[in-house]
A and B are shown apart, each in its own frame.
Chain A
């Protein structure tokens, strides 16, 4: 069973700063099935990235995904106020534990 470990658990940053979120798999996984989601309180998750690096429809280009094998990264180039949320990675039937991006 694949385990996805997200780090850090919480990221405290200011608007305009760059956010780098990590997702590490317990074994090598297919990039085709690596996705990232954003979730705000009381809302359903929103797909940001699929196939490790492809942005979903309507997602701003400040969001980018990269990685392969066991190490994947979600980068938000310049944080906007609406980007403060929890982010999850997913590979197949497994989700990571999430990274909360909070305002510093």
Chain B
């Protein structure tokens, strides 16, 4: 059974940093691209970042480019999102999500999602 478990969310002041983790199990982690998708309270979904299975290719939404860094450790089956220079508008539930096909385009859809971790940016 595929499982994705996010952690690392919390309250942080504007300008601060936070690192999210997503522990994956139930599939061959290194074969699949992964993404982070966020949802501000009461709002819709926003794709944040994606990474290929090998970690060699990364992609970012314009809203986070230069501030967030996605990475993965395939030996630990774990996905990360390093978030720096956080702003109030980054407040959201952050989901990690798995691409549906091995080796496929990371943005062709997300077939499994974690339960999400809440990041609140406030003074």
Contacts and interface: CB of A to CB of B under 8 A. Distances in A.
A92 B110 contact: no
Contacts, number: 58
Interface stretch (A16-24, A45-53, A67-75, A77-85): A45-53
Interface string B22-50: 00000000000000010000001111001
Contacts of A27: none
A50 B109 contact: yes
Interface stretch (B11-19, B70-78, B80-88, B113-121): B113-121
B44 A47 contact: no
Classify chain B: how many residues form its interface, as a range: 20 to 34
A5 interface: no
Contacts of A33: 105, 107-109
Given A44-B115, A50-B100, A94 B110 contact: no
Interface of A is mostly: mixed
A56 interface: yes
A92 to B, nearest CB: 4
Contacts of B116: 44
B1 interface: no
Interface of B: 37, 44-47, 50, 59, 61, 95, 100, 105, 107-116
Given A51-B109, A56-B111, A93-B59, 20 more contacts: A32-B105, A33-B105, A37-B45, A39-B45, A44-B115, A44-B116, A45-B45, A45-B95, A46-B113, A47-B100, A47-B112, A50-B108, A56-B100, A57-B111, A88-B44, A90-B109, A94-B47, A95-B45, A95-B46, A95-B47
